Amino acid sequence: MTPHLLTLRQTADLLGVRDEETVRTWTRVSVRHGGLPFVQIGRCIRIDPRDLDRWIAQRKRSGRPS
């Protein structure tokens, strides 16, 4: 079964970022270079929650923030 796909607004809310344009910018970066994977349906961009979880996990750091 396909998971419920998130809108850019829902993704921004989950991540606590100010607006969906920030999330849209992350999707414009190649996945190979750390961009957020997405699904495009026509003109709509959707985020698979499983991809979002993996993307977050890849960014975890230990130690102090810079």
pLDDT, tens digit (0-9, with 9 covering 90-100), for 34-66: 899 999 999 999 999 999 999 999 988 877 766
Q: Which pLDDT score is estimated for 64?
A: 73
pLDDT exceeds cutoff 90 at 8: yes
Angstrom distance (rounded) from CA 32 to CA 40: 18
Give the predicted TM-score (pTM) of the model: 0.83
Q: Which residue has the tokens 């810079």?
A: 66
- Reduced 3-state DSSP string for 12-60: HHHHCCCCHHHHHHHHHCCHHHCCCCCEEECCEEEECHHHHHHHHHHCC
